[in-house]
Amino acid sequence: MHHRVALAALAAAGLTLGAAQAATIVPANDPAPGDAFTNASGTNQGQAVGATGWYYNNVRNGGTVGISTDHPRNGTGSASFASPSGAAKADIEFLANGVNLAGNYSAAGSLGAFSALSTFGYEWYRDGGSTTGAGLHPVMRVLLDADGDLATLGDRGGLVFERAYNGGGVIDDTWVAETIASSTYLWNFGLGIGFAANINATPYAYDATLAEWQAYFPDAVILGFSLGVGSGWSGTFDGAVDSATWTIADQTSSFNFEVEGTAVPEPASLALLGLGLVALAALRRRA
């Protein structure tokens, strides 16, 4: 009876003993307050984030990206972006076997079949001081090779998630969690079919679901995942992303961007779990 009470308390807190899955920590290249990679030129440039498989990438025209304490989320850090003009751009990307090509990074491998992707997601933050369009926020992209042949480069590109095309509004100064699943609308760039191609029977180019894209590209493979801002945005932008995750062939990968050298506060859920485990251990000793 006492065991059931303790387990019920854990369940009430939204916790189970076997369900916890720790995210992989992606640390900044520099200690607190973190790092920032920028590039004033109009040519895309990047920088590896240690040996994590993540890269600051496609940075140009004064855009900045770095893991810093500017907008802490699940701990003391997050991947922050600053875009001083509409010409600026900056991304943080996880690439399969990333290689440096003239200062920017590209995938030389695959994370698996696009058809095996069930969900992906992240959390984003838009600072209220941003002057770019009110519907704009850091996006998440799945990067693809459309025919699955890594030797042919003309069919590479990606699918983009934006809240505006999924019935949601943008909230300033608040962390927003997104989950992209089979029925989520995505739009494309590249992939050998041009920009924002219309692949379904509707007259609109931005309402093809993940499931429709998977049916359209049955041989595609996943090159990586990208989170970023800019590329034609007007005005300035300040914001961040964290908690990137995806599930491919029932295998989930989760990442938390952090800054080393700063104290990580104990999340409330972990504190409750600790208290629950102490209580459960005490009840077991008394049983």
Provide the token pair at 122: 């992240």
Tell me, what DSSP letter sits at residue 32? Answer: T
Q: What is the pLDDT of residues 186-242, one digit of tens each?
A: 999 999 999 999 999 999 999 999 999 999 999 999 999 999 999 889 999 999 999
Does 271 fall in a domain?
no
Tally of domains within the chain: 1
Residue 11 counted as domain residue: no
Work out the pLDDT band at 2, boundaries 50, 70, 90.
very low
pLDDT reading at 270 higher than 90: no
**Domain presence at residue 140:** yes
Hey, what are 93's tokens? 């990307």
pLDDT per residue as tens digits for the range 119-158: 999 999 999 999 999 999 999 999 999 999 999 999 999 9
For residues 267 and 68, the model is more confident at 68
pTM of the model: 0.85
Is 14 among the domain residues? no
Q: Which domain range does residue 212 map to?
A: 22-266
In a domain, 246, yes or no: yes
Could you give phi then psi for residue 268, rounded to 5 degrees?
-60, -40
CATH number at residue 150: 2.60.120
In a domain, 7, yes or no: no
In sequence order, what are the residues at sequence separation of 6 or more whose Cβ sits closer than 8 angstroms to the Cβ of residue 132? 83, 86, 233, 234, 235, 236, 237
pLDDT in tens, 34-67: 999 999 999 999 999 999 999 999 999 999 999 9
